[in-house]
Structure 1
């Protein structure tokens, strides 16, 4: 019975994925590679350090009296991919930061992060993404060495 239920759920997911507007797909979208050093400069030029602190980077000043500090970088279990970072920058309300009180990161369902789309160049975007990707370090999950338990029949 469980197997049948699982198969039905997987089939439903596949059908729902096929129902989306294919013209809105991000498939095939790739920006050119950015430059990490220029990305750090863009991070400061765009005043990203007003609300974001980069973990382990004392050389990047952070506004200490900021109303909120969203930390970027450091050891993580899941690294944000290129598309997720681009989306977070150009559409910050798409997914709001977890682990922070909602009032600190959003108002009326919208991110408090300003929209930089009309002031940021594509080159700054690609450089900023390269810079952010370089700040994360994968902290893999270490599996336990316990054998699987099998219920006696």
Structure 2
């Protein structure tokens, strides 16, 4: 389970300033970094999160938890999110379904902190109409993957 910084502050009685200080001095490692995520400057749209993977190392991940690049320092992980922007949302994706050997081709329709909505874009999948929406809980890293890799 993940909690926002505000939730941790309310539950613990510790200020956000103190939590940031604890992170800077190495006493506390957040699950992911960013004020609600790393945001695009021009419109505030969430690009993704920084997932701690070791001391001073972070992996940039999509808002639904899929890694976008390998681990690096905080600046390089932020730069990877900035460089990729939201272009990955337009990329083709594959969704594995229970009881089906081959994944189906989908397109991402909407991403929120709680859910990812993807739509069927697979003409060969006869069990559902094109455009049928599947709801996936976040983080989703097992069933949903880029079609190119």
What TM-score bracket applies, with the shorter chain setting the length? under 0.3
TM-score (norm 2): 0.21
- Structure with greater helix share of residues: 1
- Structure with greater strand share of residues: 2
TM-score (norm 1): 0.21
Could you say which structure has the larger radius of gyration? 1
